[in-house]
C-alpha cells in the first residue's frame, strides 16, 4: 500500500516554480516594467491562443502528420540499419563511422536543399525528419543488440536457434529499453525538424504559421505557437512513455 501511494504522489515543486514564474512574467508586463510590444503577457498569449485556435489547429495537423510519418519511417530505417550492421561486421565497420560523421551536418543547413529538391509540400519535411531520427534509433538499437549476454547467445546456439530466431526471441526484446531511450530523443528531433523545414519553405504547418506571425510582429501569436509546439512535444513524449509501460510488462514486476 505504501508503495502505491508513493507512485501516485505528484511532485508539486516544478508546478509551484512554473506558477510563480508565470505570475512574475505577468507582473513584469502589467506594471509596464517591460514594454508590451516586446513581451506579451501570459494573458495575451492565452487570448491569442484562443482567438487563433482554429488556424493553429489546422496547421498543427499538418506538422503532426509530417512528424508521425517521418518518425515512423525513421524508426523502421534505424532498426533495419541496426539489424544489418549487427549481422554483417564489414557493414558495421564501413557504415558506422560515416553515420557518426554525417550527424555533424546541421539539420538547418540541409533543410533549404531539401526544399529546393523536393518542393514546398510535405515530402521535404518528412525526409528531413527521417534523416534526423534514424540515427539515434540505429545507434541505440545496435548498442542494445551488442549488449546481449554472450552466454545467452551460446545457450541459444546449443538450442539450435538460427539468427532470425535469436533476433526475434532475444535481441529485439532485450533492446527495448535502448529503443525507447532513442525514441524519446527522436521524438523531440522530429518535431524540431518539422518546424525548421517549414520555416525554410512551405504552405502549411506550425513553422509556416510562425514565420507569418513573425513578419507581422505579432508577438502574442508567436508565444501561442511556441506553447502549442511544446504541448505537442510533451504529448508525443507521454505517448512514448505510455507505449513503453505497455510493452514492458516485466518492468512493473521488477519495481515491486
Partner 1 sequence: MHIQHGEIVALLGISGSGKTTLFNIIAGLLTSDQGRILLAGQDVTGQSGQVSYMLQKDLLLPFRTIAGNVTLPLLLRGEKKKAAVAKIGPYMQTFGLAGTEQQYPAALSGGMRQRAALLRTYLFGKQLALLDEPFSALDEITKRGMHQWYLKVIQQINLTTLLVTHDIDEALVLADRIYVLAGQPSQIAAEIQLPTRQQRPADFELTNGFLEYKRQILGILANGLSTI
The binding site for partner 1 (CB under 8 A) comprises 149, 151-152, 154-161, 165, 169-170, 173-174, 176, 248-250, 253-254, 256
Task: Tell me whether residue 98 or residue 151 sits nearer to partner 1 (CB atom).
Answer: 151
Q: Are 208 and 193 in contact (CB under 8 A)?
A: no
Q: Of the two residues 106 and 160, which places its CB atom closer to partner 1 in the complex?
A: 160
**CA atoms lying within 13 Å on the CB side of residue 105:** 13
**C-alpha grid cell for residue 112?**
533549404
Nearest CB to partner 1, comparing residues 99 and 176: 176
Q: Which is nearer to partner 1, 174 or 233 (CB)?
A: 174
Q: How far is the CB of 216 from partner 1 (least distance, A)?
A: 53
- Residue 81 CA to chain centroid, in angstroms? 19
Output the CA torsion sign for 49, 52, 56, 58: positive
Q: Cβ 34 to partner 1, closest distance in Å?
A: 53
Cα gap 209→192, rounded to integer Å: 14
Q: Closest approach of Cβ 243 to partner 1, in Å?
A: 15
- Sequence-distant (6+) residues with CB within 8 A of 184 are 237, 240
Sign of the Cα pseudo-torsion (58, 60, 66, 72, in order): negative
Nearer to partner 1, 104 or 158 (CB): 158
Rounded Cα distance, 169 and 14, in Å = 41
Q: Find the shortest distance in angstroms from Cβ 156 to partner 1.
A: 8
Range 150-174 burial, b when 16+ CB lie within 10 A, else e? eeeeeebeeeebeeeebbeebbbee
Instruction: Measure the CA–CA gap between 126 and 124, rounded to whole angstroms.
Output: 5
Query: Which lies closer to partner 1 via its Cβ, residue 57 or residue 159?
Result: 159
Smallest gap, in angstroms, from Cβ of residue 252 to partner 1?
Answer: 9
Smallest CA-to-CA distance from 145 within 77, 76, 83 is with 83
Minimum Å gap between C-beta 88 and partner 1 is 22
Residue 12 or residue 246: which is nearer to partner 1 going by CB?
246
The minimum distance between CB 125 and partner 1, in angstroms, equals 36
Amino acid at each position: 500500500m505504501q508503495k502505491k501511494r508513493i507512485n501516485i504522489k505528484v511532485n508539486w515543486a516544478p508546478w509551484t516554480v512554473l506558477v510563480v514564474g508565470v505570475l512574475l512574467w505577468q507582473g513584469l508586463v502589467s506594471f509596464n516594467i517591460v514594454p508590451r510590444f516586446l513581451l506579451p503577457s501570459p494573458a495575451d498569449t492565452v487570448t491569442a491562443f484562443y482567438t487563433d485556435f482554429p488556424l493553429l489547429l489546422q496547421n498543427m495537423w499538418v506538422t503532426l502528420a509530417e512528424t508521425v510519418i517521418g518518425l515512423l519511417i525513421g524508426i523502421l530505417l534505424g532498426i533495419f540499419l541496426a539489424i544489418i550492421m549487427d549481422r554483417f561486421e564489414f557493414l558495421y565497420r564501413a557504415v558506422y563511422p560515416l553515420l557518426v560523421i554525417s550527424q555533424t551536418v546541421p539539420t538547418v543547413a540541409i533543410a533549404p536543399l531539401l526544399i529546393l529538391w523536393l518542393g514546398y509540400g510535405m515530402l521535404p519535411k518528412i525526409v528531413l525528419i527521417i534523416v534526423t531520427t534514424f540515427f539515434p534509433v540505429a545507434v541505440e538499437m545496435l548498442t542494445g543488440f551488442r549488449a546481449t549476454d554472450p552466454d545467452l547467445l551460446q545457450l541459444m546456439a546449443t538450442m539450435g536457434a538460427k539468427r532470425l530466431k535469436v533476433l526475434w526471441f532475444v535481441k529485439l526484446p532485450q533492446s527495448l529499453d535502448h529503443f525507447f531511450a532513442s525514441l524519446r530523443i527522436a521524438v523531440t528531433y522530429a518535431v524540431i525538424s518539422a518546424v525548421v523545414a517549414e520555416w525554410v519553405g512551405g504552405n502549411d504547418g506550425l513553422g509556416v504559421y510562425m514565420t507569418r506571425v513573425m513578419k507581422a510582429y505579432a508577438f502574442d501569436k508567436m508565444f501561442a505557437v511556441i506553447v502549442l509546439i511544446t504541448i505537442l512535444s510533451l504529448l508525443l513524449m507521454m505517448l512514448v512513455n505510455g507505449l513503453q509501460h505497455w510493452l514492458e510488462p516485466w518492468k512493473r514486476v521488477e519495481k515491486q
